[in-house]
Amino acid sequence: MSQLILTWSVAIAQLMLGVSICCAALRLMRGPRAQDRILALDTFYVNAMLLLLAFGMQSGQTVYFEVALGIALLGFVSTVALAKFLMRGEVIE
Amino acid sequence: MTAATSLITLIALPFLGSVIAAFLPSNARNREAWVAGALALGALAIVISLHSAVADGGVVRLQLPWVPLLGLEFSLRMDGFAWMFALLITGIGFLVVLYARYYMSPEDPVPRFFSFLLAFMGAMLGVVLSGNLIQLAFFWELTSLFSFLLIGYWHHTGAARDGARMALIITGTGGLALLGGILVLGHIVGSYELDVVLAAGDAIRAHPLYLPALLLILLGAFTKSAQFPFQFWLPDAMAAPTPVSAYLHSATMVKAGVFLLARLWPVLSGTQEWFWLVTAAGLSTLVLGAYLAMFQQDLKGLLAYSTISHLGLITLLLGMNTPIAAVAGIFHIMNHATFKASLFMAAGIIDHETGTRDMRRLRGLRKALPITATLAIVASAAMAGVPLMNGFLSKEMFYTEALHTTTPFPLLGELLTYAAVVWGIFSVIYSLRFIHGVFFGPPADDLPREPHEPPRWMRFPIELLVLACLLVGVIPGRTIEPYLHTAVQGVLGEATPEYSLAVWHGFTLPLMMSLGAMFGGIALYATLRRFLLNRVDGPPLVRLVGRRIFERTLVFLSWRLARPLEARLFTWRLQRQLLIMVVVTLLVATAVLWGTDFSLPPIDWSAISPGLALVWLAGMACAIGAAYMAKFHRLAALILLGGAGLATCVTFVWFSAPDLALTQLMVEIATTVLLLLGLRWLPRRIKDARSTVRERSRRLRDLVIACVAGGGLGGLAFLVMTRPLPDSIARFFVERAYSEGGGTNIVNVILVDFRGFDTFGEITVLGIVALTVYALLRRFRPAPESIQRPKQQRLAAAHDDAHAARPRGDSIPQHMLVPSVIMRLMFPAAGALAIYLFLRGHNMPGGGFVGGLTLAIAIILQYMTGGTRWFEARWRINAVRWIALGLLCAAATGLGSWLFGHPFLTSHTRYIEIPLLGALPFASALLFDVGVFLLVVGATALLLLALAHQSIRSHRGQGVPAPTVSRKEKS
């Protein structure tokens, strides 16, 4: 039973994360402001990380968590760089 | 040391010295000379010690595997003839080094000089000691190259550059012809080994390809030895420093051509073709060179043309097809080397002491330079062939042979005799010009400098050489005969004829010819002296076209032909280049794939996970959006690119490639930062209100081409991936990754072990790219509109200025306070992730590349939050050192396997006991991966920081307070 619940919930989670990624992509494209796009990219990253976790649970292999770890630790660097660029006009001063 | 090992030492010594000399400081004149002199002397000692091995026809051989797959071996071979040449090269080389120590002025960069000279010596030794003809051609071209560098040593003068270029083109082209001839010869014989070739003389001469081989080889030899009609490069090589001229003209370079003729004499000579070709070239060079030498006003020019003439004599003797003439030729090689080297050195001293080489201005130097004068007079007497000098002996042999030669046409024999006498007269005249014109008569009073005797040791080489000229001339039987015999045996072997080196043969016809030429020459000189002195430089009657043809050809090739071609086929516009490339690729792909079966296997749509499908949808939309935005909104395009990259990363994970996914993620992040760093410096977009029809149609065309190319590529990839994989090399890697590479992560084992050599090449390229970017950015001049600070910073500064309580620049640290604290805390975690990814890379996803990228990103993050000055006050990353260390580490690991007798980059795996941790697997490939790690960190940091430093640099001098941490130039 618990097996069934897990299988279904992971599948639903994947689907919903996919939808949220699509939403983020939509905002990414439409903007309108640069800030919106950057936030959308950050959302994209977070959702992708979660999607990978869900995928790892589905396959039962921890190897896939590595990439999720990578996104969690360093995925925000792009966001920071972009935000810094907007704020100061330069990434590294 | 056995004879064979001394051979390899002999070749290696000069090259070793060349490297050492190159690294000495430029003001270390004495140390340079000591190093060069000691190595030359060491080489000379080795040559002398080898005499016993090659005397009586012995041959020393050494063979090392070179390209075993092609059957090529690095083969050294020394017989008597090669020994004689090695003696001349090292002996005169040593004297030249000694002489150059005093000749070169303190302003000249001597490390370059001695380095080239030693390398040239090594290349020349390589030519004479090669036991393999291909290898000989290789060293042959090396001598061309180093002579180019030596002739062009004073490259600030146009004459040196032109002379060097001409020498390189002529001798290099000849070398190419020689290589062709050698290939034909090897085809005839079936081997390139000199021993085999020398034993196959009859087969070669009878072969239908004999003539092409002969022509090509002669082309190589004649260009090198400055034989007519290629003689014109040698006088222009006079632009070299005099020690170089002395070396090139006596023991090396031009002697390489006659060396080759003599070396291949046993297999190529003896035919009509050989006789006609070689004799004709030799005879015309002999007379022409001597004729031109008479009319030179430049001391070195006179000597240069005399060299041409004497080389013609050697060529002529070798062309005569009789063993005794060949003996005379070999003998004259030695004699000419001794007197010509000393004469050039004497000319150098005269130039050095008086400041001019113009014979119209030089006279009466006997008083000021008594010892040099005496030495030069003796050496010129040898050049003129005066009795009791070594030049006389070989000249007598030549006259004897000229009288006795048998040709199909008796007329030719007579012509040869007359030409010999005329040559004798000419040589006496130009030798007299050198002696009488320069040293006798009233002393000149309008010289640029007051002449004095040169330093003791500058004269020493000349003294030694002149002594040799005299000793050989007076007592040939005691001095030169055994050595000449050794050399002759090396060439002729069993066919060595009986010959006599006696000074006195009685009143024979050759002696009469000699005396006649001498008195004729003296008489003619007395008559012509005024005429010769008052002429402008250059000969009457003869106008040489060789040089003009050469120059015309060069102009045609490099200007008249190249310009129109460039105008028609080349464009500076990147757009057009890209267009041509893509269209051509498309056409080729269409042509190749035309008619291929493109049917798809049935696709199981249900196997596609909905989550992944949505990610793909988002990714594709991002990719198209990025392409669309690239022109109008760069920042948006960049962000969209990030989305597309992330979708790719998720795809990689989904299809079981976590390694790729990790790498993709890190590259994605680093690329975003890199592009953002560059974005600030890009020029603003030109805001054109409306575009013309033409522009629109061009864009439409580009869009169509891009869609077709991209769609085609995607379609191809899809087709390939939907087909069953052929049985590829993958199985090999899967099976052996653990058993032979000691790792379970196959990707990593391939990278650091199976394909370690490729990886080594790749990281080298990465390092080069990083250094190039760094070098280019050092000179970066931003566009005028992007020099000033960005608008945001100006606003913030204005805000700070408006509030009296705020010092300028205070608001940023406040804005960044929370993020920067968090990110500083992240640094150890990110660093731990980097080390973790790196360490377990051999068995699990990860490895040096990803680890390095991770660390680099972590470092960049600190730069972003804290600022360059803040970070560099704490940790200055010397990225160039990281790169160097990484390369060295990888190379050392690779070389390490040599110590255990394995090929380069062989991996070794074992378990190592470590306290606390227990037995841990350890592969030597890990050390290699350390190199990759270091290099990737260094290269990424260098790339990003080189761009980042631009912003500090451009603010300097704009009223910004001086940085507390000095800007890093060499990070």
* CATH code, domain with A57: 1.10.287
Which phi and psi (to 5°) does residue A65 adopt?
Answer: -70, -20
Cross-chain Cβ contact A90/B793 below 8 Å: yes
What average pLDDT does this structure show over B582-595? Answer: 89
* In the predicted structure, residue B584 carries a pLDDT above the cut 90: yes
Question: For the residues B233-258, what does the mean pLDDT come to?
Answer: 85
Name the DSSP class of B962: P
Inter-chain touch B793–A88, beta carbons under 8 Å: yes
Under an 8 A CB cutoff, do A88 and B796 touch?
yes
What is the percent of chain B with per-residue pLDDT over 70, rounded to a whole number?
91
Asked whether the beta carbons of residue A14 and residue B610 sit closer than 8 angstroms, the reply is yes
- pLDDT of B971 > 60? The answer is no
Quick one: average pLDDT of B664-674?
A: 91
Q: Is 90 exceeded by the pLDDT of residue B804?
A: no
Q: B188-196 contacts: CB < 8 A, separation 24 or more?
A: B188/B213, B192/B72, B192/B132, B192/B133, B192/B134, B193/B73, B193/B75, B193/B131, B193/B132, B193/B133, B194/B75, B194/B77, B194/B130, B194/B131, B194/B132, B194/B133, B194/B136, B194/B263, B195/B59, B195/B61, B195/B77, B195/B131
Q: Across the interface, do B672 and A82 touch by the CB < 8 Å criterion?
A: yes
pLDDT of residue B969: 40
Distance of CA A5 to the CA centre of its chain: 24
Report the residue of chain A nearest B948, measured CA to CA. Answer: A92
Q: Does A90 touch chain B (CB under 8 A)?
A: yes
Q: How far is B888 from chain A (nearest CA, A)?
A: 29
Residue that has been written with the tokens 């990147």 in this structure = B574
Q: How far away is chain A from the Cα of B689, in angstroms, using its nearest Cα?
A: 22
Which residues make Cβ contacts (< 8 Å) with residue B250, sequence separation at least 6? Answer: B88, B92, B336, B337, B338, B340, B341, B344
Rounded CA separation B430/B438 (Å):
12
- Nearest CB to B611; choose among A17, A29, A74: A17
Question: Does B673 contact A90 at a Cβ distance shorter than 8 Å?
Answer: no
Q: DSSP character for B910?
A: E
Percent of chain B with pLDDT over 90: 12
Tokens of A83: 């935000």
Residue B375's identity, in one-letter code, is L
Tell me how far the alpha carbon of residue B888 is from its chain's centroid. Answer: 23
Q: Please give the residue of chain B at the shortest CA–CA distance from A13.
A: B611
A10 reaches B (C-beta below 8 A): no
Q: Give B365-407 as a DSSP string.
A: HHHH-HHHHHHHHHHHHHHHT-TTSHHHHHHHHHHHHHHH---
pLDDT at position B575 over 90? no
A93 found inside a domain: no
- Cα distance from B760 to chain A (closest Cα, Å)? 26
**pLDDT number for residue B917:** 62
For A37, the closest of B639, B789, B796 (CB atoms) is B639
Minimum-distance CB partner of B669 among A51, A52, A78: A78
Count of the separate structural domains present in chain A: 1
Q: Which of B146, B208, B144 is nearest to B179 (CA)?
A: B144
Q: Is residue A32 part of a domain?
A: yes
Residue from the list A41, A84, A92 with its beta carbon closest to the beta carbon of B868: A92
Residue A79 lies in a domain: yes
- Is residue A49 within 8 angstroms of chain B, CB to CB? no
A15 belongs to a structural domain: yes
What is the predicted pLDDT for the residue at B959? 42
Q: Which amino acid is at B703?
A: L
pLDDT tens digits, residue range B43-60? Answer: 889 888 888 888 777 888
Whether the Cβ atoms of residue B837 and residue B851 lie closer than 8 Å to each other: yes
pLDDT of residue B966: 41
With an 8 Å Cβ cutoff, are B618 and A74 in contact?
A: no
Given a cut of 90, whether residue A44 has pLDDT beyond it is yes
pLDDT surpasses 90 at B704: yes
Report yes or no on A35 lying in a domain.
yes
Instruction: Look at residue B692 and give its three-state secondary structure.
Output: coil
Q: Check residues B883 and B65 and name the one with the higher pLDDT.
A: B883
Instruction: Report, as an integer, the average pLDDT of B912-926.
Output: 66
Partner-chain contact A90 B790, CB within 8 Å: yes
Q: Which residue of A has its CA nearest to B637?
A: A29
Mean pLDDT of chain B: 83
SS3 B498: coil
Give the model's pLDDT for residue B950.
78
pLDDT of residue B913: 67
Closest CA to B346 of B444, B235, B250: B250
Q: In terms of CA atoms, which chain B residue is nearest residue A86?
A: B792
Cα torsion B472, B473, B475, B476 to 10°: value is: 60
HSE toward the beta carbon, residue B179, CA cutoff 13 A: 14
pLDDT per position as a tens digit, B481-504: 888 888 888 888 777 777 777 777
Of B65-74, B317-326, B681-690, B901-910, least confident by mean pLDDT is: B901-910
pLDDT, position B538? 62
Q: What are phi and psi of B620, to 5 degrees?
A: -65, -40
A67·B665 Cβ contact <8 A = yes
Owner of token pair 């704009």: B958
Per-residue pLDDT tens over the stretch B174-208: 999 999 999 999 888 888 888 888 888 888 888 88
Distance CA B678, CA B407 (A): 79
Say if A53 falls within a structural domain: yes
Average pLDDT over residues B293-299: 84
Strand, coil or helix: what is B130? strand
Least confident of A66-75, B549-558, B851-860: B549-558
DSSP one-letter code for B72: E
Determine, for residues B864 and A90 on separate chains, whether the beta-carbon distance falls below 8 Å: no
Q: Is residue B447 predicted with pLDDT exceeding 80?
A: no
Integer Cα distance of B438 and B297 in angstroms: 11
Tell me which of B641-645, B700-704, B955-959 is least confident.
B955-959
Q: Give the residue-averaged pLDDT of B581-594.
A: 90
Query: Rounded to the nearest 5°, which phi and psi values hold at B188?
Result: -65, -45
Q: Across residues B235-240, what is the average pLDDT?
A: 83
Read off the pLDDT of residues B114-156 as tens digits, 9 standing for 90 and up.
889 999 999 999 999 988 888 899 999 999 999 999 998 888 8
How far apart, in whole angstroms, are the C-alpha atoms of residue B488 and residue B127? 18
Domain coverage including residue A32: 2-88
Q: Are strands B918-923 and B909-914 parallel, antiparallel or unpaired?
A: antiparallel
Task: Flag if A70 and B833 touch (Cβ within 8 Å).
Answer: yes
pLDDT digits (tens, 9 = 90+) for B619-650: 999 999 998 888 778 889 999 999 999 999 99
The span from the CA of B909 to the CA of B925, in Å, is 8
At residue A50, the pLDDT reads 92
* DSSP character at residue B193: B
CA B853/CA B666 separation, integer angstroms = 6
Residue B291 has pLDDT above 90, yes or no: no
